[in-house]
Structure formats: structure tokens, C-alpha cells
């Protein structure tokens, strides 16, 4: 039963689908329409043979005072055939109302849908064969046919299908026509290697694709809304069998594919007991990662060491190219005349037969070992003092030792921050030098800075002299400070500044009347003090405040030039 919020009575509920037949991988849109009642969005119960997609929509209309709500759901069929969406029970105001069952015909991918054209997007899986051998590499193609939309993800394959899945190659794109309709065909390729015998499955494959959502209105700012649709391709059954154990050559070590082999040895003239490096190159198609050096019965007169291997010129999945083994072999007898042929067997899955390729024998010149029958040399005095080989491990530690550090310093914020201290210091000093150089090249700026400092200090001293009632010092400093500030503003020597400058230079240059008046007052107070020096601390403080205000205004004033 669908959970609905009842809103009214005498309501009707209908369920419809957008089309009666679809292909596998396509969705069918189920619309539940409720008329005559306002309800919340119903929660769709699980529907057999369908999965519910992420996109749902709601629309509400009021026609002639009657409310009609439509809820849409994207349903993806999980198998082909005639599938039934069963009757869905809705509870409206305590009254159970059932929708009618709906039959949907689901066609296999690529099959024509009755009464419909091809879907606008579908996916096909293509494999070259389905009867495989364990260890055989096949290339899976995922072909995405699309008339619209864009793809921003690789196809999704189940991981536990009995195959090792390689890395996806860069997809190719082309235009093709299918049933007289044009499609973009995007082909993804990935190698699969059967790693398990028995019945296996390839896929199912899911391919997300972004398409225009036509069930929603276009937005003025963002255009046509988009939605993600998951296209699905059915799984393909495959069978893997191990290479037949009968007739397997002794030099078969599990290689499946088509290969050729070359061998080289160096040096070819050695003493008994000296190593020869043999380079074996196996070139061809197959799972190169899985190729190992098979046992070589003919090399019994050589001591073989474990080979080193590398793969060259291969694709990103190592399914074609050259695998090179370097093996150190040590001749054990002077009677050896050649390195016997190297035999490499593989199972050719196309021919369903074992193949053995051999390299020619490599002539060798083996000389007797210089130390073979000679007595071991006596240890010299130095050798006698050399440490003897260990016969046991060093004893346990008595103390726990240092703690293991799990967090690297490089990830510690404080450590990262520390790295910026020295560069910041250096940068600061560089900036300081640049500033000094800038001042040195600009005498007016330098003078301005100096006068600013002088005025700053002068104001402090004026207040101090006023507080301590020292009128002589007060007026001397006041006069000098005014001279310096006015001289700097007018770009004239400070000593040339007198009260006359106020009217002759400052006022014509645009200094305000109030400041000019204040300057006159200050200059005259200074003149008066020479003849009537008795001033109270209170008077001096008032003059200091006026001087400070006037000097600030002078500093803020720019001469009109």
C-alpha cells in the first residue's frame, strides 16, 4: 500500500506509462495521477522485474477548482519479456484505491520495438568469443549508441565475474546509421582475462548518460534541465576451460596467447662457476603479466638463479608487447660447449593447441675455474681480524627505544608554517631596502617623512612643555615645528618661513581661512611671549591643542600647484 497523506474524499487515482514497449536499457515513465485530493508524494513499493531510477517528478494543476497531481517515476526493466507493473494500492482518507495493472513489453537490445522507433540511446556488448580458455585475454567492447546526451563516466562492470578487468582504453566516437536513424557511437574497450574455469558471465554493463529532462520546464537562466539515465546492457554468458592437461609440453608454464622468443647470452667465455647473463625476450599477444620462465630440462648442467623481468613496449594493460627475463646461469662443467636451446611453450587459444618455440643454442667457451682445485688461500692478518659471519640474531633490546612516528612532519601544519619564517624575514628585509631606495630617489618624500616624525615628536614636546609650564621652550618648539611643517608643504627652506608666508603663499595656494587664522594666532602668540613672557600652564595647553589641530590640518592639506 502506498503511503499517502489524505486530503479529501471522492478522489480518483490512475496509473499510466509513457509507452507500451521499450528496449532493455531504456526506462519507462510511470505516472500516478491523483484527482480531487491533495496528497504527499507516494513512496513506490518494490516492483518485480523493475528498478526505480533516481528521477521523479511532481506536477500540480488546478482546473475549475479541482486539484490534479501527477507523480512520475522512471522504471528500468531488469529483463526482457512481457512485464507487468502490478496494481498499486493507495490510501486516500482511509479509503483504499487501487490502480490498474499495466503490461510493458520489453525487447532485447537492438530488437525493433513494436510501434516505436529505436530508442534514442542504447548500449550493446560485443565480445569476439564466448568459449574461452583460462588465462586467455579478450577485448570487450561496450558500444553506446546515443542521439543526444553526453557521457562523463566509464561503463560499470561487476567485479566478481570470474574475469580480471583491465584498464579502460580511451573511447572512440563515430557517427553511424541504425535503421535509418543517425547515432553517435561511442565505443569503450577493455581487456578481460578469464581467471576461473566454468560458466562465467560478462556484464551486465551499466552506462550512465546525461540527457535533457523533458519532463521539467526549461529554466530561464540555466536552460534545459538535465538528468542522469542509466543505460543497461544484458550480461553475456561465457564458458572458460583450462588448457587441456594432456599433451601439455614440459616447458609449458601457463602462457596463453601467441608468442615468439629470442635469447642472448653474455659473456660467452667464462670460467666454471662464473655467471652468464641470459636475456630471454618473449614477444606477442596475451597476458604478459602472467608469463613466467618455464623449467628448462636441458639446462641441467647450469645452475639457474631467479630471473628478473620487465615488460617493454606494451599497452597500458600489458596484453601485447615484449617481456624480457634476465637470468643468471652458472656453468658447472668445463665440458659445456653451448647454452642449450631455450624452449617456451604456450597454448594458442585460436588453434586450440600447444605451441613450443625454441631459440638456437648459444656457443660458449668454458674454461676451468682458477680456484677450482686449488687450496683455499690462507687468511691474511687483516682477514683474520674480519668479523665472522653471524650465527644468530642480535639480542633483544632492554629499553623500549624511540616511539614510532606515524604522522610525518611534512603533514604537520606547524612544520609547514615554520618553512615560511626565514623566507618571510628575507622578504621583509628586501622590502625594507626597496623602501629606503625609493626614499633616497625622492627627496620630497623623504622630507615629508622626516617632517611627519618631527611634528609627531614636536606635538608631544609641546604638551609636555605646557604641562610643566615652560613657556620659553614651548614657544621655541612651536615656532620651529610650524616652520618645518609649512616649509615642507611649500617646498621652501624652513628658516625662510615667517608669519607673512601665511598670507603671501598659503592662502593663495588654497589653505582654508580657519587654518590661516589659527596660524596667525599661533605666530602672534609666539611674538607676544617674547615681550610678555608670563603665561599660565592652562594657556599653554590651549595653545598646544590649537597647534596640534592646525598642524594636522596642514598635513592633510595639499598645495595646489
Partner 1 sequence: MIRWCAGVLFVLVLLSARAADVNTTFAAGNQAYEQGKFAEAAALYRAAITNGAATSGAWFNLGNAEFKVGNLGRAIAAYRTAEFATPRDAALRANLAFVRKKASGDHPQPGAISSGLRLLTANEWATAASAALAAFFAVLAIAEWRGVRGSRTSLVCLAAVCLLLVGVAATSFYETYMSRHGVVVAKQIAVRFGPLDDSQSAFQLSDGAEVDLLDATPEWWQVRDRQGRVGWARRADIAAVSP
Residue among 36, 93, 171, 254 that touches partner 1 (CB under 8 A): 254
Dihedral angle computed from the Cα positions of residues 110, 112, 114 and 119, in that order, rounded to the nearest 10 degrees = 50
* Residues 356, 346: Cα–Cα separation, whole Å: 6
Please report whether residue 399 would count as binding partner 1 according to CB under 8 A. Answer: yes
CB 51 within 8 A of CB 27: no
Please report whether residue 248 would count as binding partner 1 according to CB under 8 A. Answer: no
b/e sequence 375-407, b meaning 16+ C-beta within 10 Å: eeeeeeeeeeeeeeeeeeeeeeeeeeeeeeeee
Looking at the Cβ atoms of 401 and 493, the one nearer to partner 1 is 401
Cell numbers 577493455: residue: 190
Please report whether residue 394 would count as binding partner 1 according to CB under 8 A. Answer: yes
Number of residues that bind partner 1 (CB under 8 A): 54
| One character per residue 452-481, x = contact with partner 1 (rule: CB under 8 A) | ------------------------------
Residue among 98, 237, 429, 559 that touches partner 1 (CB under 8 A): 429
Smallest gap from residue 316 Cβ to partner 1 (A): 14
Please report whether residue 401 would count as binding partner 1 according to CB under 8 A. Answer: yes
User: How many residues make up the chain in this entry?
Assistant: 561
3-class secondary structure, 168: coil
Please tell me what DSSP assigns to residue 163: E
Smallest gap from residue 352 Cβ to partner 1 (A): 18
Looking at the Cβ atoms of 128 and 389, the one nearer to partner 1 is 389
C-alpha cell, 542: 590651549
Looking at the Cβ atoms of 194 and 205, the one nearer to partner 1 is 194
| One character per residue 124-163, x = contact with partner 1 (rule: CB under 8 A) | ----------xx-----------------------xx-xx
Comparing CA positions, the residue from 245, 237, 243, 238 lying closest to residue 257 is 243
For 495, residues 6+ apart whose C-beta sits below 8 A from its C-beta are 483, 487
Please report whether residue 289 would count as binding partner 1 according to CB under 8 A. Answer: yes
Residue among 158, 208, 242, 275 that touches partner 1 (CB under 8 A): 242
Please report whether residue 386 would count as binding partner 1 according to CB under 8 A. Answer: no
Name the segment binding partner 1 (CB under 8 A); options: 52-60, 170-178, 388-396, 447-455. 388-396
Q: Interior CA angle at 193 toward 195 and 110, to 5°?
A: 120
Please report whether residue 193 would count as binding partner 1 according to CB under 8 A. Answer: yes
Residue among 29, 143, 164, 483 that touches partner 1 (CB under 8 A): 164
Smallest gap from residue 391 Cβ to partner 1 (A): 9
Please report whether residue 534 would count as binding partner 1 according to CB under 8 A. Answer: no
Cell numbers 615628536: residue: 457
CB 496 within 8 A of CB 483: no
Please report whether residue 400 would count as binding partner 1 according to CB under 8 A. Answer: yes
Preceding amide of 554 cis, omega within 30: no
Comparing CA positions, the residue from 451, 466, 444 lying closest to residue 542 is 466
Looking at the Cβ atoms of 152 and 406, the one nearer to partner 1 is 406
Please report whether residue 69 would count as binding partner 1 according to CB under 8 A. Answer: no
Please report whether residue 307 would count as binding partner 1 according to CB under 8 A. Answer: yes
3-class secondary structure, 409: helix
Q: Interior CA angle at 9 toward 47 and 95, to 5°?
A: 45
Please report whether residue 342 would count as binding partner 1 according to CB under 8 A. Answer: no
Please report whether residue 281 would count as binding partner 1 according to CB under 8 A. Answer: no
Name the segment binding partner 1 (CB under 8 A); options: 15-23, 30-38, 414-422, 513-521. 414-422
CB 112 within 8 A of CB 25: no
Tell me the CB-side half-sphere exposure of residue 513, using CA atoms within 13 A: 0
Please report whether residue 199 would count as binding partner 1 according to CB under 8 A. Answer: no
* Residues 174, 186: Cα–Cα separation, whole Å: 7
Residue among 44, 195, 362, 439 that touches partner 1 (CB under 8 A): 195
Binding positions for partner 1, rule: CB under 8 A:
134-135, 159-160, 162-164, 193, 195-198, 242, 254, 287, 289-290, 292, 306-311, 390, 392-406, 408-410, 415, 418-419, 421-423, 425-426, 429-430, 433
Amino acid at each position: 500500500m502506498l503511503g499517502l497523506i489524505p486530503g479529501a474524499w471522492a478522489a480518483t487515482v490512475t496509473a499510466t506509462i509513457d509507452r507500451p514497449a521499450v528496449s532493455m536499457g531504456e526506462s519507462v515513465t510511470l505516472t500516478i495521477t491523483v484527482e480531487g485530493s491533495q496528497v504527499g508524494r507516494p513512496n513506490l513499493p518494490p516492483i518485480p522485474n523493475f528498478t526505480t531510477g533516481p528521477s521523479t517528478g511532481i506536477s500540480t494543476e488546478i482546473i475549475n477548482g479541482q486539484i490534479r497531481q501527477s507523480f512520475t517515476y522512471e522504471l528500468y526493466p531488469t529483463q526482457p519479456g512481457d512485464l507487468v507493473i502490478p496494481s498499486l494500492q493507495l490510501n486516500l482518507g482511509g479509503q483504499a484505491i487501487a490502480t490498474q495493472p499495466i503490461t510493458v513489453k520489453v525487447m532485447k537490445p537492438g530488437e525493433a520495438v513494436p510501434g516505436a522507433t529505436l530508442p534514442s540511446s542504447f548500449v550493446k556488448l560485443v565480445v569476439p568469443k564466448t568459449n574461452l580458455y583460462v588465462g586467455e585475454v579478450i577485448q570487450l567492447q561496450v558500444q553506446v549508441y546515443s542521439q543526444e546526451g553526453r557521457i562523463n563516466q566509464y561503463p560499470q562492470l561487476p567485479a566478481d565475474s570470474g574475469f580480471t578487468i583491465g584498464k579502460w582504453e580511451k573511447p572512440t566516437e563515430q557517427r553511424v546509421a541504425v535503421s535509418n536513424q543517425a547515432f553517435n557511437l561511442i565505443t569503450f574497450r577493455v581487456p578481460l582475462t578469464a581467471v576461473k574455469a566454468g560458466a562465467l558471465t560478462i556484464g551486465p554493463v551499466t552506462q550512465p548518460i546525461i540527457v535533457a529532462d523533458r519532463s521539467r520546464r526549461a529554466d530561464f537562466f540555466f536552460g534545459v534541465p538535465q538528468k542522469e539515465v542509466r543505460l543497461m546492457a544484458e550480461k553475456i554468458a561465457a564458458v572458460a576451460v583450462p588448457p587441456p592437461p594432456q599433451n601439455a609440453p614440459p616447458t609449458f608454464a601457463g602462457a596463453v596467447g601467441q608468442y615468439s622468443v629470442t635469447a642472448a647470452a653474455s659473456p660467452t667465455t667464462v670460467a666454471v662457476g662464473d655467471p652468464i647473463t641470459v636475456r630471454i625476450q618473449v614477444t606477442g599477444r596475451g597476458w604478459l603479466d602472467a608469463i613466467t620462465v618455464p623449467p628448462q630440462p636441458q639446462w641441467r648442467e647450469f645452475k639457474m638463479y631467479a630471473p628478473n623481468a620487465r615488460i617493454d613496449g606494451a599497452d597500458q594493460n600489458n596484453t601485447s608487447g615484449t617481456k624480457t627475463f634476465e637470468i643468471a646461469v652458472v656453468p658447472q662443467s668445463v665440458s659445456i660447449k653451448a647454452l642449450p636451446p631455450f624452449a617456451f611453450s604456450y597454448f594458442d587459444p585460436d588453434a586450440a593447441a600447444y605451441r613450443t618455440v625454441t631459440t638456437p643454442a648459444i656457443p660458449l667457451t668454458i674454461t676451468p675455474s682458477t680456484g677450482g682445485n686449488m687450496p683455499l688461500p690462507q687468511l691474511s692478518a687483516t682477514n683474520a681480524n674480519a668479523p665472522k659471519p653471524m650465527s644468530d640474531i642480535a639480542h633483544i633490546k632492554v629499553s623500549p627505544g624511540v616511539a614510532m612516528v606515524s604522522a610525518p612532519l611534512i603533514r604537520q601544519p606547524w612544520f609547514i608554517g615554520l618553512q615560511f619564517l626565514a623566507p618571510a624575514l628575507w622578504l621583509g628585509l628586501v622590502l625594507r631596502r626597496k623602501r629606503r631606495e625609493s626614499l633616497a630617489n625622492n627627496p620630497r618624500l623623504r622630507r615629508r617623512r622626516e617632517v611627519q616624525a618631527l611634528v609627531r615628536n614636536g606635538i608631544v614636546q609641546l604638551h609636555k612643555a605646557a604641562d610643566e609650564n615652560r613657556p620659553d621652550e614651548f614657544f621655541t618648539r612651536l615656532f620651529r615645528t610650524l616652520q618645518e611643517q609649512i616649509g615642507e608643504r611649500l617646498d621652501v627652506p624652513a628658516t625662510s618661513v615667517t608669519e607673512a608666508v601665511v598670507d603671501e603663499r598659503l592662502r593663495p595656494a588654497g589653505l582654508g581661512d580657519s587654518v590661516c587664522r589659527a596660524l596667525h594666532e599661533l605666530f602672534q602668540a609666539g611674538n607676544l611671549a617674547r615681550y610678555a613672557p608670563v603665561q599660565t600652564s592652562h594657556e599653554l595647553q590651549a595653545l598646544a591643542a590649537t597647534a596640534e589641530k592646525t598642524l594636522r590640518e596642514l598635513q592633510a592639506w595639499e598645495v595646489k600647484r
